């Protein structure tokens, strides 16, 4: 039986792939895009693909008007996916840049989750699938702002999972590693906007090229599985090599010394 799924950050990357993939599988999908040109473009792409199950709306998660409009939809699953990445050494990154990461990845995403979770509680069921990251589980030098925001997502989801379980509302995370969506590449480049605007005491990225990213189709398929499965895992890390790395690094954290 088809589900009604709302996807944030549906204009590009995993959000777009999951929205189109779910629609092709017969689910009703509400695809939220940040700006109107993205709304138009995704509508054209859906029409060209013959996807009549996809409704595209403007949903900038930072915009309270957009959020309230979206809350008018009654959904079975929220794919809480919208996010940004800003790079740079922790001691150098400008605080407005650091705050912007938390505003989108944590505070706005939480407001979206809260709004839909209340409706799910009243109806006695639902599922929230939240895009976290491998960066939410391990250390990520030179990308500490993004990693910190995803560590916060992990904590929020752990709490929500237990708090909402008695009401039939399920919470899961998906944790992508490095995939070829362009998100990581532009996120690494983002620090160039401010790096030359002041004196720096800590080094720049030692390596900028991302030559070993994976095909995003793998992660998109895994996310669709989490949305559709009757009993998906609490956490889904892909690729497999990233899961192995996370498990090693978390174990090593107990043994490390400064």
Q: Which domain holds residue 78?
A: 4-252
More confident residue, 111 or 207: 111
> Could you tell me what percent of the chain has a pLDDT over 70?
98
Query: Which of 30, 28, 27, 49 is CA-nearest to residue 39?
Result: 30
| pLDDT greater than 80 at residue 25 | yes
| Residue in 46, 124, 126 with CA at minimum distance from that of residue 79 | 126
- Note the pLDDT tens digit of each residue in 49-105: 999 999 999 999 999 999 999 999 999 999 999 999 999 999 999 999 999 999 999
| 258 domain residue, yes or no | no
Catalytic residue among 146, 150, 222, 236: 146
Q: What is the pLDDT of residues 124-183, one digit of tens each?
A: 999 999 999 999 999 999 999 999 999 999 999 999 999 999 999 999 999 999 999 999
pLDDT band for 256, please (50, 70, 90 cuts): confident
In a domain? residue 248: yes
CA distances from 190 to 79, 93, 181, 183 (A): 25, 11, 15, 11
Domain tally for the chain?
A: 1
Answer yes or no: 179 catalytic: no
Q: Could you give the C-alpha distances from 77 to 127, 185, 229, 234, 255, in angstroms and in order?
A: 5, 29, 12, 15, 40
Question: Which CATH number goes with the domain that contains 138?
Answer: 3.40.50.720
Instruction: Tell me whether residue 257 is in a domain.
Output: no
Please check the confidence at residue 208 and state whether its pLDDT lies above 80. no
Residue 209 — φ and ψ, nearest 5°?
A: -80, 135
Tokens 């599988």 sit at which residue?
25
């Amino acid at each position: 039986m088809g589900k009604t799924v709302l996807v944030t950050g549906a204009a590009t990357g995993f959000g777009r792939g999951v929205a189109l993939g779910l629609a092709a599988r017969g689910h009703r999908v509400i695809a939220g895009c940040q700006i109107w040109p993205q709304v138009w473009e995704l509508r054209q792409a859906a029409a060209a693909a013959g996807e009549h199950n996809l409704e595209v709306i403007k949903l900038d998660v930072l915009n309270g008007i957009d959020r309230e409009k979206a809350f008018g939809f009654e959904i079975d699953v929220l794919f809480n996916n919208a996010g940004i990445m800003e790079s740079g050494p922790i001691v150098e990154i400008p605080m407005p840049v650091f705050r912007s990461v938390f505003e989108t990845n944590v505070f706005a995403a939480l407001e979206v989750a809260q709004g839909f979770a209340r409706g799910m509680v009243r109806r006695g069921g639902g599922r929230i699938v939240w895009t976290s990251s491998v960066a939410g589980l391990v250390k990520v030098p030179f990308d500490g702002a993004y990693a910190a925001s995803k560590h916060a997502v992990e904590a929020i989801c752990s709490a929500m999972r237990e708090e909402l379980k008695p009401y039939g509302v399920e919470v899961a995370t998906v944790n992508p590693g490095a995939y070829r969506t362009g998100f990581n590449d532009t996120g690494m480049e983002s620090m160039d906007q401010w790096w030359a605007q002041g004196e720096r005491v800590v080094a720049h990225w030692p390596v900028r090229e991302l030559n070993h990213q994976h095909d995003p189709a793998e992660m998109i398929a895994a996310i669709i599985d989490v949305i559709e499965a009757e009993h998906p895992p609490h956490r889904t890390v892909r690729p497999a090599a990233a899961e192995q790395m996370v498990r090693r690094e978390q174990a090593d954290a107990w043994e490390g010394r400064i």
